[in-house]
Amino acid sequence: MTAPSPTEGEQRRLLELKYNVTAWFYDILDYPWERQYRHWRPQLVGNLRGEVLEAGVGTGRNLRHYNSSVNLIAIDLCKAMVKIAKKRGGAAVCMLDCRQEDATKMASIPSNHFDWIISTFLCCVLPYNLQVLAIRQFERVLKSGGQIRLLDMVYSKIPQFRRRQDFFTPFVEKVYGARFDRNVLENLQESSRLRITNTYFLKKDVYQVIEGYLVD
Ligand SMILES: C[S@@+](CC[C@H](N)C(=O)[O-])C[C@H]1O[C@@H](n2cnc3c(N)ncnc32)[C@H](O)[C@@H]1O
């Protein structure tokens, strides 16, 4: 007999629990990768203007790169991560409201409000059904014409990198809840309200940026 699949509530609780533990050493654990990511973050958020939502802010690594004209709401499911992000947000020059909020519900977030939604490495931690709920929320809270820019990791087609990813998969899933096969692009393409305008890789064929906008 196979075990029943976890419910959405269970999946959320698992992620929250995982990150409440991981938060204590997240920046140390992520350091080898962050040495790479820190070169990408300014270009991912530095040219944004207006009302911006960052979903899955983590320990707040993007925060100091937002322009001073930005009005930013940064959310994360996990209280311990939000606490660290708030501290790091002290170095931000934008207007910042950092709060605990679930990207798949966004209960405290107004509809039709944002010019931009940004997330870095959020969707690759969300299982399919949670990802679909988050995408629906993106559709709800974006203004018409509002844009998305998402960075996630995907499986490489290059055998050498794929072998490396296969080696790290159990670690990445256990510690971050992340997977290389979350099919973020495909899931976004299922949305009738989001148009994907651009996809590109920041490194090899692994770190994928997806850009798009909300149609009327
Ligand atoms: C891999 S970390 C990425 C953190 C950060 N964006 C970065 O680039 O370093 C994923 C983050 O997503 C958060 N997260 C997971 N599920 C979430 C949800 N349903 N709503 C909001 N945040 C969530 C986790 O708590 C964690 O902080």
Q: Give, for ligand 1, the residue of 16, 24, 29, 76 to mutate: max count of ligand atoms closer than 8 Å to Cβ.
A: 76
Where does the pLDDT of residue 152 fall: very low under 50, low under 70, confident under 90, or very high at 90 and above? very high
CA angle 109/111/113 to nearest 5° reads: 90
pLDDT at 3: 75
For residue 101, the enclosing domain spans 8-214
Domain count, the chain: 1
Task: Classify residue 51: in a domain, yes or no.
Answer: yes
Where does the pLDDT of residue 2 fall: very low under 50, low under 70, confident under 90, or very high at 90 and above? confident
**CATH number for the domain including 163?**
3.40.50.150
Per-residue tokens: 146: 């509002």
pLDDT at 205: 96
Q: Quick one: average pLDDT of 173-190?
A: 96
pLDDT at 216: 81
Q: Quick one: average pLDDT of 67-95?
A: 98
pLDDT at 89: 98
Verify whether ligand 1 is closer than 6 Å to residue 120 (CB atom). yes
pLDDT at 42: 98
Verify whether ligand 1 is closer than 6 Å to residue 82 (CB atom). no
Q: Concatenate the DSSP letters of all residues of 105-146 into one string.
A: T-TTS-SS-EEEEEEESSGGGS-HHHHHHHHHHHHHHEEEEE
Per-residue tokens: 145: 């014409």
Chain segment 117-143, per-residue pLDDT in tens: 999 999 999 999 999 999 999 999 999
Verify whether ligand 1 is closer than 6 Å to residue 213 (CB atom). no
Give CA–CA dist 131/187, Å, rounded.
Answer: 8
Which atom number of ligand 1 is nearest to the Cα of residue 134?
19
Q: Quick one: average pLDDT of 165-172?
A: 94
Task: Classify residue 1: in a domain, yes or no.
Answer: no
Which atom number of ligand 1 is nearest to the Cα of residue 177?
1
Task: Classify residue 16: in a domain, yes or no.
Answer: yes
Which atom number of ligand 1 is nearest to the Cα of residue 130?
19
Nearest to 58 by CA among 94, 18, 93: 18
DSSP state at residue 2: P
CB of 90 closer than 8 Å to CB of 63: no
Instruction: Calculate the average pLDDT of the chain.
Output: 96
Task: Classify residue 146: in a domain, yes or no.
Answer: yes
pLDDT at 1: 64
Verify whether ligand 1 is closer than 6 Å to residue 115 (CB atom). no
3-state secondary structure of 213: strand
pLDDT at 4: 79
Order of strands across the sheet that contains 142-153: 95-100, 71-76, 51-55, 114-120, 142-153, 207-214, 194-203
The answer to whether the predicted template modeling score (pTM) of the entire model surpasses 0.85 is yes
- pLDDT over 80 (residue 74): yes
pLDDT at 114: 98
